[in-house]
Structure 1
Amino acid sequence: MTEIDATGLKCPMPVLRLQKALRALDSGARVTLLATDGMAAIDVPHFCAEQGHALLSQEVKQNTAANPQIGGSETLLIFEIEKA
Structure 2
Amino acid sequence: MADDALTTLDVTGYRCPMPVIRMEAALRRMAPGSSLIVRADDPVAALDIPHFCREAGHEARRQPDLGPAERPICVFLVTRGPNPA
For 1:46, the equivalent position in structure 2 comes to 51
Verify: 1:14 aligned to 2:19, yes or no.
yes
Task: Give the letter for the 1:23 counterpart.
Answer: R
* CA-atom RMSD in angstroms: 1.6
* The structure with more strand, counted as a fraction of residues: 1
SS at match of 2:68: strand
Paired residue for 1:83, among 75, 80, 84? 80
TM-score (norm 2): 0.82
- Percent identity reads 37
Gaps of 5+ in 2: 1-5
Moved more, 49-58 or 28-37: 49-58
Partner Cα distance (1:77, 1:57) in 2: 8
What do residues 12-59 of structure 1 show as CA deviations (whole Å, max 9, x unaligned)? 110011000000000000000000000001100100000000113343
Partner Cα distance (2:55, 2:34) in 1: 18
Task: Give the letter for the 2:48 counterpart.
Answer: D
Gaps of 5+ in 1: 65-72
Partner Cα distance (1:58, 1:43) in 2: 15
SS at match of 2:13: coil
Alignment size in residue pairs = 76
